[in-house]
Each structure stands twice: as structure tokens, then as C-alpha cells.
Amino acid sequence: MTFHGKHLIAGEWTGTEATFASTPVTGEPITVSAGDATLVDKAVQAAEEAFWSYGYSSREERAAFLNAIADEIEARAETITAIGTAETGLPEGRLQGERGRTTGQIRMFADHILKGDYLDRRHDEALPDRAPLPRPDLRMIERPIGPVAVFGASNFPLAFSTAGGDTAAALAAGCPVVVKGHEAHPGTAEIIAEAIKAAVEKTGTHPSVFSMIHGGSHEVGGALVQHPLIKAVGFTGSLRGGKALFDLCAQRPEPIPFFGELGSVNPMFVLPEATAARGAAIGEAWAGSLTMGAGQFCTNPGIAVVGKGPEGDAFVAAAKDALAGTGAQVMLTDGIASAYRAGKDRFDGRNAVTPVLTTDSDGREATPNLYETDASAYLQDHALGEEVFGPLGLVVRVDNLDEMVTLAKGFEGQLTATLHMDDGDADAARALLPVLERKAGRVLANGFPTGVEVCDSMVHGGPFPASTNFGATSVGTLAIRRFLRPVCYQNLPEALLPADLQGI
């Protein structure tokens, strides 16, 4: 397939004079139209127009549209895998798995809205005879908020990008979407946009319900989040980029919610009995999780907290051996590879940190690195707790449980926190849990956080900087809540209520 590199604005492929070249790992670069504020305005105005029908469509219509998107993505499976692997360097198996996850979550949202629970409908019947004052008839329902902006993520070209979780949740809620494509995978964005366009045509959905604008400069993202008709933003990316966009949202004349999923080091606490019984095995498995996908997961467990002494040493030695045996991996972009090396340099320059395994890499490749420090050094140096996006691990050695708890209290907000524990560690786990649940969106036992199940109970979020909104998740059915707003109807005649509220 040849890629034209155009934007999809309100159902039409649109080119621009200004272009940029894509930077695939393999194959020929694509000439991509560069976005600008004029295109953003056109797409958002069209999305607002579409809202007047799509926002009031039935749940059945939206479910049919979502299922058609999933079908159209599957119909392009091979092309998606081919362009996705060429652009990102991720292996074929990963792209195939991520496609299944993407279509699975689109279909999950279709099923979810059909059930209707997400509407959280409530009814307090009128009490005309109540004294001293009668009570009116009050009914509440969740309503869609309007056009939503979504930023494609570099590290998930499918599941967190053009038709990823943010887009699926917003469309399910009844909100038109304007996607800002990520420069790392414009061809993948194009073919997914084409699948959505085909689903629009197949189901007779308003064509302006979805637009995709390529980047080329920060102008596009800035114009999108500041557009007065945009009502919320879904974002996955860096702390720096996310914070800049969050600030723009907060400074608008009408501030809007920015649902940013930013940095996390996902600490892992290896408790004493588990360390003694299987420290080496946990260390080896940690290395596997740390290097999966070149460490380019927001749930990458970058920090392990382990006791001092020979049993903890066995954990570190096994992790070192396993990491040393992992070869170089291609990273998503040149910029991400150089940011990884800058993160490593930050560690190399610190006296309080001991290198356990240091490696050099070039260009777009990354090789694993491992460092060690102790709790007091960690707590005194804020930079050690900042995410290094890639296969870099830090082991923090502690004297005892009290120090582990103190360390846990010192962590910033996290997407996940993990306990490795045996039966004899239950009291230690009980001491840590009240701290961990205040810090993280997901607490795990005896596993690794890199796999994120897409289901009703999943939370992929957490206190800042894991996310900019601790009440929300970007994965799982609860993700739809970000794009809904409760409305109460007082004494409205039944026939004037939204269809979903009639007869309730």
C-alpha cells in the first residue's frame, strides 16, 4: 500500500503545502502533510456540528459504529502490521497483539454502552406532601460532553493512538473526536483513520465525528487543546509535553479537563521471605519485564526495593546476568533513544549511585543498564525517582521494613506498585499497603505491571505525575467517565427527558 500522508478532516482527505518526512526504522519515509491551526479549527468546528446528531444518537447506533470500526481495522490487519513494524521497530507479534487489544477494547465499549450501567441513572420521585417543603421530581443521567481531543502515543501506535482507548471511550460516550497523530507513526495513523472513515460510511454516521491531523510542530497540539469548542483532552506521553498541554488547558478562558497519563517508575517491593525463597528468580523475571519492548512501557517497573544482605545480593546478581544477556533493541524514535541515554547519563554522574551494569548504545538502539543505591540516598535525590523511558533499572537497598515504608511514603504518584511476597510476608505487606494504595492506581502481588488487562476493573492512572487527574483511568470501561457529565432534570415532563431516562 502507498501512503498519501494527508489529514482526515470531517470525512475528506486533505493535504497541505507544508510537509515533513516520516522516520521509519525500515522502508521508505512517507511525505506527510504538516498540520496547522487552520486545519484544527476546521476539524473542531465540524466535530461540534457532528455533536448535534452524534451526541444524541442511540446507544445501539454508537455500538454498531464501534463494532464497524473494529471490523474495518481487522480487515486491514496485514497492512497495519507491516506499516506499524516499519515505523516503530516493534516486532510483528507485538503489533498483532496490540491490534487484538485495540479491536477488543473498541468492542468492549460497544458492549458496555449497550448495558447502560455507565449512565448511572438515578431517580428521586416527587414528594408533593413533604413538609415543610415538597420535593420535586429529580432524575440524573450522564451525558456526553462534546468534541474531545486525543493525542496519539508514540509507544502504542494502535492501543493508545488513533483508534485507541481514548478515542473508543469518547466515541462510545457520544463525543466526536479530533486526533493529533504522533509523528513516530503517520502511516499507521493514516490506515487506522481510513478504517474509521470506512466504518462511518458503512453505518451512515456523521462524517465529522472523527478527524485526524498530523503534527509537524507544537502548533497543532497547542491549537487543539486551546480551541474553545474542545471540551476535554486524552493524552499519553511525556511529563514535560503533558504538563505543557495541561497548563494550556488550565489557562483557557474556559478551563477544560486534561486527562494526561504521564511518567511513572512503578516501584516493586521485594519482601524478605520472598527474597529469601526466590530472590534470584524474581530478579531474573524483573529483567524480562524491564526490557520488554525496549522498556518503552509507562508501566515499566524501573525501581526495585530489596533488602540488604546476601539474599538481596542474589536478586541483584540474577537481574544483572539476565540484563547482560539482553541485546540491543530498536527504540521508537531517535529522540526517545537520545532521551534514554540522557537518563542514563543522569545516573552515571551521581556519587550516591553504584553502577551494576552499564552499557553504551548508539543511534536508535538501547541496551539495558542497572544501578544500585540505598534508601537515604534515594530520598535525598529527587532526580532518582524520575522516569527513564527505556530498559534502565534502579535497585534501592533497605535495612528493614521501616525503611521500606519510609521509602514508599517518599514516592510520587505511580500507575502501579508491586509487592513480591510469600505467606510469611503478610505483616510486612499489611504495613506497606495503606501507603501504596495512596500512591498508585493499581497494586499488584507477585506479578509484573507491564501487562495491562483491558476489562471493567482495570485502573490505568494514579496521583500526579502518573496522571493529571487521579479520579480517572485511561484503560478499562471506567475510562468512559472522562467524557461524560452528569445532568439533573427537575420536574421535566417525561416526554422531554433524554430517551435513556424515560421510564426510569
Q: Using CB under 6 A as the criterion, which residues of the chain lie in contact with ligand NAP when the complex forms?
A: 151, 153-155, 180, 182-183, 215, 217-218, 221-222, 236-238, 241-242, 244-245, 261-263, 298, 336, 339, 389
In the complex with ligand NAP, which residue's Cβ is closer, 146 or 221?
221
Strand pairing category for 354-357 and 365-366: unpaired
The least CB distance from residue 224 to ligand NAP, in Å, is 8
Strand pairing category for 12-14 and 19-21: unpaired
Catalytic residue (choose from 175, 194, 249, 298)? 298
Looking up cell 496547522 gives: 36
The least CB distance from residue 51 to ligand NAP, in Å, is 24
In the complex with ligand NAP, which residue's Cβ is closer, 54 or 347?
347
Gap between the terminal Cα atoms of the chain: 51
In the complex with ligand NAP, which residue's Cβ is closer, 149 or 172?
149
Angle 176-257-297 from CA coordinates, rounded to 5°: 85
* Rounded Cα–Cα distance for residues 64 and 248 (Å): 35
In the complex with ligand NAP, which residue's Cβ is closer, 144 or 465?
465
Catalytic residue (choose from 48, 142, 183, 261)? 261
In the complex with ligand NAP, which residue's Cβ is closer, 90 or 336?
336
The least CB distance from residue 23 to ligand NAP, in Å, is 12
> Helices in 150-185 by DSSP H: which ranges?
165-173
Strand pairing category for 148-151 and 232-236: parallel
* Rounded Cα–Cα distance for residues 300 and 394 (Å): 12
In the complex with ligand NAP, which residue's Cβ is closer, 234 or 283?
234
DSSP string, 200-243: HHHHT--GGGEEEE--SSHHHHHHHHH-TT--EEEEES-HHHHH
Instruction: For 302-358, give the secondary structure using H, E and C.
Output: CEEEEECCHHHHHHHHHHHHHHHCCCCEECCCHHHHHHHHHHHHHHHCCCCCEEEEC
Note if 261 is an active site residue.
Answer: yes
Partners of 127 in the β-ladder? 135
Query: With 0-12 CB in 10 A as exposed, 13-18 as middle and 19+ as buried, what is 457?
Result: exposed
* Packed helices 59-75 and 186-203: angle between N→C axes, nearest 10 degrees: 130
The least CB distance from residue 270 to ligand NAP, in Å, is 23
In which region does residue 337 sit, left (phi positive, over 0), alpha (psi from -120 to 50) or beta (all else)?
A: alpha
The least CB distance from residue 441 to ligand NAP, in Å, is 13
The least CB distance from residue 215 to ligand NAP, in Å, is 3
In the complex with ligand NAP, which residue's Cβ is closer, 55 or 84?
84
C-alpha cell at 345: 547519563
Give Rg (Cα) of the chain: 24
The least CB distance from residue 415 to ligand NAP, in Å, is 8
Note if 298 is an active site residue.
Answer: yes
Catalytic residues: 261, 298
